[in-house]
Chains A and B, each alone.
Chain A
Amino acid sequence: MARINWYKYASPTNFYPFAEKMIPWFAFPAAVLFIVGLYVGFFVAPSDFQQGDAYRIIFIHVPAAWMGMLLYVLMAIYAAIGWAFNARLSSMMASAISITGAMFTFLSLVTGSLWGKPTWGTWWVWDARLTSTLILLFLYIGFISLQASIDDPRRADRAGAVLAIVGVINVPIIYFSVQWWNTLHQGATIRLLGKPTMAPPMLAAMLIMLAACWLYSIAVVLVRLRYIIIEREQNAARAAEVSV
């Protein structure tokens, strides 16, 4: 059996064509799953007996909130690997993830606000879950701004890695906030151990939308990573030419 040399793909130059091949494998299934998830969410899942149809915001709100947290953890891991092992591709991956993670965190806040108004009677409250999610958005913005403000990519990666690693402490705080503090936000609907408290069609729609968001994120991050590789490699080549 032919063995794949995975180390080969740690090089941006080798990963670039590989990423190009992988993008359609994530983008098209993402589009299909979005359509299926929305169909199940709007036409198969019944209305909630308490919240009526307002609960249907859950099909985008919960996947967006999960993606915001998971992408942050992933970004911090890549940033840490890039910093510890001087792996350029890992640092580039962290940069590529940051914008999509920020987008999902912002989306979770906006959709949460749109859900909060009809159910809680307010657009926003300074409760633990909402405030810690807002801090997550600020961490993403801080990471993106910090990287953009430093010209030398290596220094920018190191500075970003420190912020990403320190900020990762906020993720368990977001997750457990509904247990640690009295909040308006409802508790976890799905737990790793234990039965979900949702009807099966509702749960199915939410999980399909989550899978769609994952595939979308991978496709978009790979496209952005390719652009970052081009920009950085070309800038490095240009800098080498100038110094010669």
Chain B
Amino acid sequence: MGGYAFYVWGSYLVTLLLMGGEVLLLLRRGKLLRYQRPGIQTPRE
């Protein structure tokens, strides 16, 4: 990376952490919703 590896890989690592973190938080929120309201599948039910 011509001496810029820290900056370039650092940028993509932050990207991975933020996007991965967002997806993980969403999955956790879904799991929590299902746990708190076990019968709920859709708002109609």
Contacts and interface: CB of A to CB of B under 8 A. Distances in A.
A68 to B, nearest CB: 12
A111 B37 contact: no
B7 A57 contact: yes
A57 B22 contact: no
A107 B22 CA distance: 12
Contacts of A106: 18
Interface residues on B, range: 20 to 34
A16 B33 CA distance: 15
Contact of A115 (B2, B11, B23, B40): B11
B11 A114 contact: yes
Interface in A54-112: 54, 56-57, 60-61, 64, 99-100, 103, 106-107, 110-111
Nearest to A213: B19
Given A224-B26, A234-B37, A118 B7 contact: yes
A114 B10 contact: yes
A220 B18 contact: no
B7 A54 contact: yes
Contacts, number: 77
Interface string A186-228: 0000000000000000000000000000001000100110010
Contacts of A60: 11-12, 15
A107 B10 CA distance: 12
Interface residues on A, range: 35 or more
Interface in A105-158: 106-107, 110-111, 114-115, 117-118
A229 interface: yes
A230 interface: yes
Contacts of B3: 52
B14 A52 contact: no
A12 interface: yes
Contact of A17 (B10, B40, B42): B42
A220 B4 CA distance: 32
Q: Which of B1, B2, B12, B15 has the most CB of A within 10 A?
A: B15
Contact of A118 (B4, B15, B18): B4
Contacts of A17: 42
Given A107-B18, A223-B26, A227-B29, A233 B43 contact: yes
Interface of A: 12-13, 16-17, 38, 47, 52-54, 56-57, 60-61, 64, 99-100, 103, 106-107, 110-111, 114-115, 117-118, 216, 220, 223-224, 227, 229-231, 233-234
Interface of B: 1-4, 7-8, 10-12, 14-15, 18-19, 22-23, 26, 29-30, 33, 37, 40, 42-44
